[in-house]
Chains A and B, each alone.
Chain A
Amino acid sequence: MTEKDFIRCELLVLSWQRGNCERAAHDLVELFQRPLLYYVRRLVRSEEDAWDALQETFMAVLKALKTIRDGRALPAFVYRTARNAALSQQRRRREEPLVEDIAETVDEAAELQLTADEAADVHRGLELLPLPQRESLTLFFLEDLSIAQIAELTGVPEGTVKSRLFHAKRALKRHLGRRLEGGGHE
């Protein structure tokens, strides 16, 4: 998330406090809809479920907006709400649980330089990863949260997040390597 986006978060909280609720809601959706949809879509099985979770998220955030004093805390709050909504969706569908620990830890996340041209392959590659790794890497790519915030959101230590990123990036690298060997981008 850029400095501009953080300032927009603060402005929308102020808009709400001023009573310009519809304006604040519009800004909230504009700022978070796409990244949240991308994130939630990686957590649930179907597009329908992702939209249901997204709708639930926005409703919950808008109801809670009056309690938020620091606009900079908004992204972490929005993602936490979205995660809870996605978990609820999963529970309703009785699917595999999201939270699952990986014992192995590493100091540094694997170095993986990706370009915008590889986005389509990265997007497909994410689907092949186990859920905890997929979630961490998705959040990492979306750049709205720091590693510490991802750790807090997912309820695991920072080391575990780094470990998940390491394994996820390694798996993604293998996937990308295979694709390149198999004839490059589609």
Chain B
Amino acid sequence: MNKLRERLLEIEPLSASRNEKLQQEIQAMFEPKMSRWEMWYWGASLAGSVVGAVSGVFIACFVPAEASVRTIWGVFGVINAMMAVFVLRGMRKGSMNLREQFALGKASVGVTLLIASLILINAIWRPSLENLAWGLFGVTWLVLAAAIAILNRVMAAAIDGREHSLRLEYRLAELMEKLGERR
């Protein structure tokens, strides 16, 4: 690295207060305040989750059905309750953390995969006309969720591979730099 460049950069004062303000602005960018439309969107999500949670728990506890079916509804209810708590927490804060939103997107695919698998296993385990119809419904969601999961995995693998090779290149560049300094 050019020493003149470094010295010039050192001469320019870095205001601590403005630097802190910049960091705060950047931090705030990742937790943006919800707009009115976003409040509507998350409000609708919350309502959907609450309905899902109440229905799931109600069917699991009070509707006379096979134990396996009730278990599936129970899992569905609990997951919706967790989703409702997450959304409610964000809405009370008036902002959503982007990282948590990304994680939620990934988790949704996993949850869909889980519930679709449970429905399918139930249909295979206890074959009946009703269970087969549910099984068919499960297969559709299973294929869709699996396709999304595979696509996500392929994209993540491509990024992982690129990142790994870049880290190696970085290490190599670092070594070359040190070698140059010794000479």
Chain A, residues 119-132, CB within 8 Å of chain B (1/0): the string is 11011000000000
Q: Confirm or deny: A105 has a beta carbon within 8 angstroms of a beta carbon on chain B.
A: no
Interface of A is mostly: helix
Q: Confirm or deny: B166 has a beta carbon within 8 angstroms of a beta carbon on chain A.
A: yes
Q: Confirm or deny: A38 has a beta carbon within 8 angstroms of a beta carbon on chain B.
A: yes
Give chain B residues whose Cβ lies under 8 Å from the Cβ of A38: 8-9, 12
B100 to chain A, nearest CB (A): 10
Give chain B residues whose Cβ lies under 8 Å from the Cβ of A119: 4, 7-8, 10-11
Chain B, residues 160-183, CB within 8 Å of chain A (1/0): the string is 001100110110011011000000
Interface centre among A22, A29, A48, A55 (most CB of B within 10 A): A22
Q: Confirm or deny: B3 has a beta carbon within 8 angstroms of a beta carbon on chain A.
A: yes
Q: Across the interface, do A59 and B11 meet the contact criterion of CB distance under 8 Å?
A: no
| Among candidates B9, B30, B167, residue contacting A22 with C-beta atoms closer than 8 Å | B30
A103 to chain B, nearest CB (A): 29
Q: Across the interface, do B163 and A11 meet the contact criterion of CB distance under 8 Å?
A: yes
Q: Confirm or deny: B92 has a beta carbon within 8 angstroms of a beta carbon on chain A.
A: no
Pair count A-B, CB < 8 A = 107
Q: Confirm or deny: B2 has a beta carbon within 8 angstroms of a beta carbon on chain A.
A: yes
Complex Cα spacing A33 to B99, Å? 24
Chain B, residues 19-56, CB within 8 Å of chain A (1/0): the string is 10111011101100000000000000000000000000
Complex Cα spacing A48 to B15, Å? 10
Complex Cα spacing A101 to B33, Å? 44
Q: Across the interface, do A11 and B166 meet the contact criterion of CB distance under 8 Å?
A: yes
Within 8 A of B (CB), among A141-184: 141-143
B179 to chain A, nearest CB (A): 13
Complex Cα spacing A62 to B3, Å? 29
Q: Across the interface, do B99 and A37 meet the contact criterion of CB distance under 8 Å?
A: no
Q: Across the interface, do A2 and B177 meet the contact criterion of CB distance under 8 Å?
A: yes
Q: Confirm or deny: B6 has a beta carbon within 8 angstroms of a beta carbon on chain A.
A: yes
Q: Across the interface, do A115 and B25 meet the contact criterion of CB distance under 8 Å?
A: no
Q: Confirm or deny: A44 has a beta carbon within 8 angstroms of a beta carbon on chain B.
A: no
Q: Confirm or deny: A18 has a beta carbon within 8 angstroms of a beta carbon on chain B.
A: yes
A residues contacting B by CB (< 8 A) are 2-4, 7-8, 10-11, 14, 17-22, 25, 29, 33-35, 37-38, 41, 47-48, 51, 54-55, 58-59, 62, 114-116, 118-120, 122-123, 141-143
> Can you show 12 pairs from A to B with CB atoms below 8 A apart?
A3-B169, A4-B170, A14-B162, A21-B98, A29-B23, A29-B26, A33-B22, A38-B12, A51-B18, A116-B3, A118-B4, A141-B8
B residues contacting A by CB (< 8 A) are 1-15, 18-19, 21-23, 25-27, 29-30, 98-99, 102-103, 156, 159, 162-163, 166-167, 169-170, 173-174, 176-177
